Amino acid sequence: MAIRRKSRLLIEPPASATGDIAFNLIVFFLVCASVQPDSGRKQTIPKAEQTEQKDQQTDTISVELTRQAVFLNGDPVTPKDFGPRIKAKLDARSNPAEKVVVVKSKPDTPYNHWIAVTSQIEDAGGIVTLQLEEEQTVTVP
Amino acid sequence: MAMGDIAFNLLIFFVILARAQDDSHLQWTPAKAQNLEQAGHSLVSVVVDTENKLYLNGQEIGVGQLASAIEDQLGDAPSGERTVLLKVHQEAVALRFEPVIEAVSEAGGDLVHIVEDVKKTSKK
């Protein structure tokens, strides 16, 4: 006796479930969108220590940043020339301790300018060190 | 059938709840840089938003308390698991973000600047 097998392939899901399915799909894609990994640049900044200005070595490379300009050891440099010039200076130094670059920024230096310059220093093999001016309260008698 | 849906929705609910302390609600525009790498897993995220306000893991904080708060969050985590994500709005000024970087360094965090790839933005 031949047994007829029922085909289950063409059974449609109940129409009442479409709302649930849509809701679950929305939640699924929202969660997927919110867990995208971040990408960035690692930066190793030496631990803060208080140093008086007179103690600084004279042969240290210093970079000064203003709102738009860059100064390398006091000389103004265009953003295009900065990368090759800092690389040339760092390549001439073999000792890792000499590859420290002191970065001093004016208070109004924007972050996008700062990160562009410090990235170039690190890509050239330099070690970025920040020079911050300490706030001092002076009491006038 | 409904039991499966309920279980799935509960799962999603707790996943979202677990992420409630994140900083995705904060407004900031990343700066652009080259040679980026994946930041990986991090316990601590610090944000300087468009209004120059400072946040640690989504909660507003003063720069004076930042170093000790980061130290508390990192605990005794070994080197390599002390990543601190720094998300600074591209127009924030040095007066605001440099003390933040100093605080991360003071707390012994491995600093990762979250920025946008120059190549990606130039393609848009």
* Residues A91-101: tens digit of each pLDDT: 988 888 888 89
**Cα-to-chain-centroid distance, residue A88:** 23
| A-B contacts at Cβ under 8 angstroms | 118
How far is Cα B92 from Cα A112, in angstroms, rounded to an integer? 8
pLDDT band for position B120 (cuts 50, 70, 90): low
- The answer, for B28 touching chain A at a CB cutoff of 8 Å, is no
Q: Is the pLDDT of residue A53 over 80?
A: no
How far is Cα B73 from Cα B82, in angstroms, rounded to an integer? 9
Mean pLDDT of chain A, nearest integer: 79
pLDDT tens-place string over residues B6-47:
887 788 777 776 665 577 778 899 998 888 887 777 888 999
Closest to A31 (Cβ–Cβ): which among B15, B99, B108? B15
- Find where tokens 């230096």 sit: A109
How far is Cα A31 from Cα B15, in angstroms, rounded to an integer? 9
The pLDDT of residue A2 is 58
Share above pLDDT 70 across residues of chain B, in percent, rounded to a whole number? 90
Instruction: Please report the residues numbered 31 through 90 in chain B whose beta carbons come closer than 8 angstroms to any beta carbon of chain A.
Output: 31-40, 48, 85-86, 88-90
**DSSP secondary structure of B17-29:** HHTTTS-TTS---
Using CA coordinates, name the residue in chain B closest to A123: B35
Spatial contact of B88 and B95, defined as CB atoms under 8 Å apart: no
Q: What is the mean pLDDT of residues B105-123?
A: 81
How far is Cα B3 from Cα A89, in angstroms, rounded to an integer? 68
Q: What is the mean pLDDT of residues A81-88?
A: 91
Instruction: Please report the residues numbered 58 through 77 in chain A whose beta carbons come closer than 8 angstroms to any beta carbon of chain B.
Output: 65
Chain A nearest CA to B55, separation (Å): 17
Beta bridge partners of B79: none
How far is Cα B64 from Cα B103, in angstroms, rounded to an integer? 8
Q: Which residues of chain A lie closer than 8 angstroms to B20, CB-CB? A: none
- The answer, for B14 touching chain A at a CB cutoff of 8 Å, is no
What is the value of pTM for the model shown? 0.75
Best residue in B37, B41, B70, B105 for a mutation probing chain A (most A CBs within 10 Å): B105
Where are the strands (E) in A66-110, listed by range?
70-72, 75-77, 100-105
pLDDT tens-place string over residues A63-83:
999 998 999 999 999 888 999
ipTM value greater than 0.85: no
pLDDT band for position A49 (cuts 50, 70, 90): low
Q: Report the candidate in A111, A95, A86, A73 with the shortest Cα–Cα distance to residue B95.
A: A111
- Find where tokens 């867990």 sit: A35
- Find where tokens 């609910």 sit: B13
End-to-end CA distance of chain A: 114
pLDDT band for position A139 (cuts 50, 70, 90): very low
